[in-house]
Amino acid sequence: MSQTAILGAGVMGETLLSGLVRAGRRVDNLLVGEKRADRAKELEDRYGVAVVSNVEAAQKSDTIALVVKPQDMGDVLDEIASVLRPGQLLVSLAAGITTAFIEARVPEGVAVVRVMPNTPALVDEGMAAISPGSHCSEEDLAEAEALMASVGKVLRIPERQQDAVTAISGSGPAYIFFVVESMIEAGVHLGLPRSTATDLVVQTLVGSAKMLRETGTHPTVLREQVTSPAGTTAAALRELEIHRVRAAFLAAMEAARDRSRELAEGS
């Protein structure tokens, strides 16, 4: 079994780590590099995984997942570059960071794959989009695909689409949770106990998501099926249109895409 390192074990690094463990990966085939000592201890206690220096993790691994913030990526690459060797695979999960940025900082022959994951990977329902760098073989891409497939669905996409993907599925769970929060708050305004409102909204979300996936029916058709002529749903949807919610979603996702582009420039 090949050795995998995870450098940066915050929210997304732990999500990947826990998914690999759930998928049956033995912890002695995993190494973690994490800057914060308290966090390192937490992960050692929780998973029994060895937390070592970034250099040791990179040296001893075939595949190295880079899961630090985009702003920390340059430092981590500078730290490990001297121990990297051709044949190793770097899988970056950082928003905005291009494969060219990474390739410019590591020895030639080290393969790079860029991934945009999302947090539902924590419950094995992740959506990850992967793109190969310029020295990446089919075998390398398949390795990165298998890594992410342990926690959800994986799509192969051209790298030029990564900023848009980041805006849609990378940040996407936050928009959904924002809608959920807003609906729960509305339920409380309408006089429902908070726990009742929460149960109603969460199950409505899960049921609607399941309908989308299991029926394959277009969301417009599913929305129309709920919307009776001159009924309650039509009254609500008119308010959403008046308040330009559709336009707000477009503006929000354009802002996320633009921010992903800026992160590539290190800001």
Ligand X SMILES: NC(=O)C1=CN([C@@H]2O[C@H](COP(=O)(O)OP(=O)(O)OC[C@H]3O[C@@H](n4cnc5c(N)ncnc54)[C@H](O)[C@@H]3O)[C@@H](O)[C@H]2O)C=CC1
DSSP 49: P
- Among 88, 170, 197, 201, contact with ligand A1CAB (rule: CB under 6 A): 170
Specify the residue, 70 or 132, whose C-beta has the smaller distance to ligand A1CAB.
70
Rounded to whole angstroms, the Cα distance separating 162 from 97 reads 10
From candidates 171, 184, 187, 201, binder to ligand A1CAB by CB under 6 A: 171
- The residue among 100 and 211 lying less far from ligand X, judged by its C-beta, is 100
Q: List binders of ligand X among 221-260 (CB under 6 A).
A: none
99 binds ligand A1CAB (CB under 6 A): no
Residue type, 153: K
Looking up tokens 């109603």 gives 200
C-alpha dihedral sign at 168, 263, 54, 81: positive
In DSSP terms, which residues pair with 66 in a beta bridge? Answer: 7, 92
x/- binding map, residues 58-97, to ligand X, per CB under 6 A?
---------xxxx-x--xx----------------xxx--
**Closer by beta carbon to ligand X, 70 or else 132:** 70
CB of 237 to ligand X, least distance (A): 29
The residues in 203-222 that bind ligand X, with binding defined as CB under 6 A, are none
Report the half-sphere exposure of 75 (CA within 13 A, side-chain side): 9
Q: Which of 12, 147, 148, 151 binds ligand X (CB under 6 A)?
A: 12
Residue 198 to residues 129, 158, 179, 180, 194, Cα–Cα distance (Å):
31, 39, 12, 8, 6
User: Shortest distance, CB of residue 207 to ligand A1CAB, whole angstroms?
Assistant: 25
Q: Which is nearer to ligand X, 118 or 131 (CB)?
A: 118
Give yes or no for residue 13 binding ligand X (CB under 6 A): yes
155 or 188: CB nearest ligand A1CAB: 155
Written in H, E and C, the secondary structure of 150-200 is CCEEEEECCHHHHHHHHHHHHCHHHHHHHHHHHHHHHHHHCCCCHHHHHHH
Task: Classify strands 30-33 and 50-52 as parallel, antiparallel or unpaired.
Answer: parallel
Q: Does the footprint of ligand A1CAB cover residue 148 (CB under 6 A)?
A: no
Half-sphere exposure in the Cβ direction for 2 (13 Å, CA): 16
Any contact of residue 95 with ligand A1CAB (CB under 6 A)?
yes
Cβ proximity of 111 and 84 under 8 Å? no
Q: Which option in ligand X, ligand A1CAB, none does residue 75 bind, with CB closer than 5 to 8 A by kind?
A: ligand X
Site for ligand X contains 133 (CB under 6 A): no
Residue of 124, 237, 123, 127 lying closest to 172 (CA atoms): 127
> At its nearest, how many Å lie between ligand X and the CB of residue 36?
4
| Binding positions for ligand A1CAB, rule: CB under 6 A | 95, 166, 170-171
Residues within the interface to ligand X (CB under 6 A):
7-13, 33-36, 39, 54, 67-70, 72, 75-76, 93-95, 116-119, 170
